[in-house]
Amino acid sequence: MASAFSVFGRILKMGHHPNTVTFNTLINGLCISGEVKKALIFHDNVVAQGVRLDQVSYGTLINGLCKSGETRAAVQLLRNIEGRLVRPNVVMYSSIIDSLCKDKLVAEANDLYSEMVVKGVSPNVITYTALMYGFCIVDQLQEAIDLFSQMVLKNISPDVYTFNILVDAFFKEGKVEQAKHVLAVMVKAGVKPNVITYNSLMDGYYLVKDVKRAKDVFNTMTLRGVIPDVRSYNIVINGLCKNKMVDEAVNMFEEMHQKNIVPNTVTYNSLIDGLCKSGKLSYVWKLIDEIHDNGQHVDVVTYNCLLHALCKNHDIDRAIELFNKIKDSGLQPTEYTYTILMDGFCKVGRLKKAREIFQNLLIKGYQLSVRTYNVMINGLCNWGLFDEALAMLSEMEESGYNPDAVTYETVICHLFEENKNDMAEKLLREMIARGLL
């Protein structure tokens, strides 16, 4: 940009008159460099010199504001230019609609869509795709389908991104046949599936536990010349781990290395979680070393997986070492981290230590979850401390937390085991009254 403005200065010194294309080029350069505020200042200076900018200028500024997260400022700019400087066009409206949808302000985006139609600005494929995406992320799939139908009726051809949104949304709702139908329509329309399409298909099949079809999609993708990206491998590795096929997940991870695809935090977390749940902790430590060697950071989610595995195996001393390592690395343990450790202490009968952690969480002002209370109540029940468990149940309710089915079932089962049937039946009636059974 410094060189671009140097050339601009030279133009002025030579007595030439810059035109709108010159100004638009500089405005665009500032915006794509992330210097939207400088672009706005430059705009103000140019306009102050009596220069009249065009739709491209304002479309660029509005898009720049949206890309930098300044959606409200983009809307304000649209209102400022409307009827005074230039006529808003589809690019301006689409940029703002897209940004509003990404912020989940879908009702506002839909209002703006209606406004542009009323004002005679015809939506294009980008407008429809952005709004459809918005409807899908707020679970209004039917509205997205209706919009797709409107789009087709107006002879606006959906592109690969439009189809991808519907395929992904149908799979996330578990509607496999509808997703396959959209894919068939897409192919019939001559729109070639891309890596995002295949990723959505694989993700969807893993969601409904159809591992065979998910694998077939991955193989079809490579056969058709679509190169899998890091997200493709993340979906496969996560899907295999969730279906307890950890060895295959490790093979896919090794394949990533062979193809020079760099694993990211999601890759490592998915694989580490799968390995921890299958008890293959030695490989986990190798992966953590690899993360450090790659210059990446191990996040608290990764450590939580390993901590959970250690506590599950009653290896509480190593769990304490790991917990201290988390704190020493500068990471902030989450409420879930503490809950895992509390559960570990409860399992080995070190209730005093579990209570200390619980009290410290309260003192430090953590917003405890029902899960945290459940861990503590279960630990007390397992070691026969029913009075304390019932006291914590009361304390939980007094603190504004509603016990869930797990809370009640934990206490009721232990009470029945100890032949404290009257107390158990009383809680059972309370559970039914709350609609938890």
Q: What is the pLDDT of residues 127-164, one digit of tens each?
A: 999 999 999 999 999 999 999 999 999 999 999 999 99
- Report the chain's mean pLDDT, rounded to a whole number: 91
CA 376 to chain centre: 30
The DSSP H or E segment spanning 199 is helix 195-207
Token pair in block for residue 179: 């997703």
Query: pLDDT digits over 208-244, tens only?
Result: 899 999 999 999 998 999 999 999 999 999 999 999 9
Structure tokens belonging to residue 8? 């601009």
DSSP 52: P
Residues 6+ apart with CB under 8 A from 368: 335, 361, 362, 399, 401
User: Has residue 84 got a pLDDT over 80?
Assistant: no
Dist CA 335 CA 252 (whole Å): 32
* pLDDT value, residue 293: 84
Check residue 71 and give its pLDDT. 93
pLDDT above 90 (res 337): yes
pLDDT of residue 285: 85
Query: What's the confidence (pLDDT) of residue 118?
Result: 94
Phi, psi of 158 (to 5 degrees): -65, 145
Q: What is the mean pLDDT of residues 355-360?
A: 91
Q: Using an 8 Å Cβ cutoff, are 128 and 151 in contact? A: yes
**Mean per-residue pLDDT for 250-268?**
93
Q: What percent of the chain has pLDDT over 90?
A: 64
User: pLDDT for 372-418, tens place per residue?
Assistant: 999 999 998 888 888 888 888 888 888 888 888 998 898 888 888 88
The residue type of 308 is H
Cβ-contact 319, 311 below 8 angstroms: yes
The pLDDT assigned to 283 comes to 87
- pLDDT exceeds cutoff 80 at 81: yes
Residue 256 confidence (pLDDT) above 90:
yes
Reported confidence tier of residue 68, pLDDT bands at 50, 70, 90? very high
Given a cut of 90, is residue 92 above it in pLDDT? yes
The alpha helices in 348-382, defined as continuous H runs, are 351-363, 370-382
Is residue 221 within 8 A of residue 232, CB to CB? The reply is yes
- Number of C-beta neighbours around residue 362 at 10 A: 11
Separation of alpha carbons 295 and 292, rounded Å: 5
pLDDT at 390: 85
| Confidence grade of residue 326 (pLDDT, cut at 50, 70, 90) | confident
CA distance 301 to 142: 35
Alpha-carbon gap, residue 164 to 204, rounded angstroms: 12
Write the pLDDT tens digit of every residue in 278-321.
888 888 888 888 888 888 888 888 889 889 998 988 889 989 99
Looking at residues 82-101, what average pLDDT do you find? Answer: 91
- For the ranges 157-161, 261-265, 336-340, 422-426, the lowest mean pLDDT is seen at 422-426
What pLDDT score was predicted for residue 82?
A: 82
Average pLDDT, stretch 32-57?
A: 92
Q: Give residue 45's pLDDT.
A: 92
State residue 41's pLDDT score: 94
Phi, psi angles (nearest 5°) of residue 243 = -100, 20
- Which of these ranges, 56-70, 77-91, 218-232, has the smallest mean pLDDT? 77-91
Paired with 86 in beta bridges are 82
The H-assigned helical ranges of 69-120 are 71-81, 90-102, 106-118
Residue 403, CA distances (Å) to 45, 99, 380 in order: 62, 39, 16
Give me the pLDDT at residue 236, please: 96
Write the Ramachandran bin of 175: left for phi over 0, alpha for psi from -120 to 50, otherwise beta: beta
- In this prediction, residue 106 carries a pLDDT of 95
Query: Can you give the pLDDT at residue 398?
Result: 84
